[in-house]
Structure 1
């Protein structure tokens, strides 16, 4: 939550970049241009849109993926009966996959609300606050064609879980690359006696992890953002969204907003792991 609070302005600029559909590489889509334009036309506070939804998302998503990572490492290690090494990358990948799939799937409604609140609306945002955004999106699935009762509830849930597949996929890709690269970098640096446990080691390992997860997750993030903001149901699903992006805008579109993605995820990753390791120390829990 601390990391997301600090990087919210970078996150919203990244979302705005990924929702634009002009030719990839156009100057008007540069992250500094988008940020300055937002501050000038919508006010400086527009860079903090979706803040409440972002905090709720991190509480659920990162709470589960980081909080359960070591639990799943222990469980999978015991179940493998020695087939998976404690120091091996296979155990880390497996544990991070399960933990992140759980966290990202459950947190999808908060992620969707965050994206909708951060998107650009020419006539002004249709959402008064996070609660109003949740209600509005719920009603998208309970319109005139939806039956009352259980059918209506199911429709509302479907609206809130729009884009859950790419969200879960992105969560797995990001968390596996982020948590595993951090864990592995720490392990290698300590084993080779290059660095010892401490803030310096946490900073260096998280800087490396931030670059790795930015490269691996940006394409999935673009698809996720496009689908979540697709209130008009332009895309039939993940494959249709990918096909439309490639044919209309070209494959480089999957790295639209990469500079801001790296800036945000790099800072987010450093803050996440440095704060995480400090909290573990203060509460008497061993380092990751």
Structure 2
């Protein structure tokens, strides 16, 4: 939550990823988007979706980071020793299971966060986070017995894209941090401590930004698709490729890297500090 609070203003990458101008357009740089937001909506617009972001971190990051080592130990036990604790395969499997769980549970908070951070020419239709949740619920709610089911489906729109993104990000982020940290220690380059945590998380932040940005673009487009223009994730991918070109999948990369880089460093440094305070061995 601390990492997300610090990096929330950098989440303007959502605005960049939602823009659908033709290939080659130059008015989508993150500083351009940020200045436009500050001038037209006020500086506090950079904190849009803050409460939803905090709720998302409690569930998504809490589950994916909190259960990673549990699944790592469990899968190692189930493998009867065929998977080594230092091997990358075990780390990837554990991160995949943990991220799938976290992403699926946290989807409603992620959807509301994206909606609240999107641009609305006539002003945001959401008064606050609670109102945003209620509005999304009503979008999918039908009549009679379908009201509950429809509301739940609306809140879980884009779960497939969210889960794919969560798995891609977590595997590249958690596994790269774990693997880089392990390699630096084994080679005697660095010892356990803050410098090692900072260095490993810096590399992990860049790696997960590169791998997750394309999936992130698709995810925010599907989640913000109130008119149901896309039939699903694959249709969204085809539409972006056809109308905007392949580089559209890296819209907002600069800000994505700045945000995810800062978020990754703060997350792992805080995570390792908390483990030390509670007498838990480092990751």
Alpha carbons 1:24, 1:256 under 8 Å: kept: no
Match of 1:46 in 2: 45
1:161-203 Cα offsets, whole Å, 9 max, x none, are 0100000000000000000000000000000000000000000
Cα shift at 1:85: 0.5
1:65-107 Cα offsets, whole Å, 9 max, x none, are 0000000001000000011001000000000000000000100
2:57 matches 1:58: yes
Structure 2 CA distance for aligned equivalents of residues 25 and 206 of structure 1: 33
Match of 1:74 in 2: 73
2:16 matches 1:17: yes
Structure 1 CA distance for aligned equivalents of residues 238 and 215 of structure 2: 13
Structure 1 CA distance for aligned equivalents of residues 256 and 279 of structure 2: 33
Match of 1:222 in 2: 217
Match of 1:260 in 2: 255
SS of aligned partner of 2:27: helix
SS of aligned partner of 1:269: helix
Structure 2 CA distance for aligned equivalents of residues 27 and 89 of structure 1: 40
Match of 1:200 in 2: 195
Cα shift at 1:25: 4.7
Structure 2 CA distance for aligned equivalents of residues 258 and 23 of structure 1: 17
SS of aligned partner of 2:81: coil
Structure 1 CA distance for aligned equivalents of residues 70 and 101 of structure 2: 13
Q: CA RMSD in A?
A: 0.7
Match of 1:97 in 2: 96
Alpha carbons 1:17, 1:34 under 8 Å: kept: yes
2:16 matches 1:7: no
Structure 2 CA distance for aligned equivalents of residues 110 and 95 of structure 1: 24
Structure 2 CA distance for aligned equivalents of residues 92 and 131 of structure 1: 37
Alpha carbons 1:104, 1:167 under 8 Å: kept: yes
SS of aligned partner of 1:35: helix
Structure 2 CA distance for aligned equivalents of residues 222 and 279 of structure 1: 33
Structure 2 CA distance for aligned equivalents of residues 161 and 232 of structure 1: 16
2:274 matches 1:275: no
- The total of aligned residue pairs comes to 283
Structure 2 CA distance for aligned equivalents of residues 174 and 31 of structure 1: 21
SS of aligned partner of 1:157: helix
Q: Which of 143, 149, 160 is equivalent to 1:147?
A: 143
SS of aligned partner of 2:124: coil
1:139-173 Cα offsets, whole Å, 9 max, x none, are 0011xxx2312x21110011000100000000000
SS of aligned partner of 1:175: helix
Moved more, 214-223 or 19-28: 19-28
Match of 1:243 in 2: 238
Match of 1:33 in 2: 32
Structure 1: state its 5+ residue gaps: none
TM-score (norm 1): 0.97
Structure 2 CA distance for aligned equivalents of residues 286 and 115 of structure 1: 36
SS of aligned partner of 1:73: helix
Match of 1:116 in 2: 115
Structure 1 CA distance for aligned equivalents of residues 23 and 279 of structure 2: 49
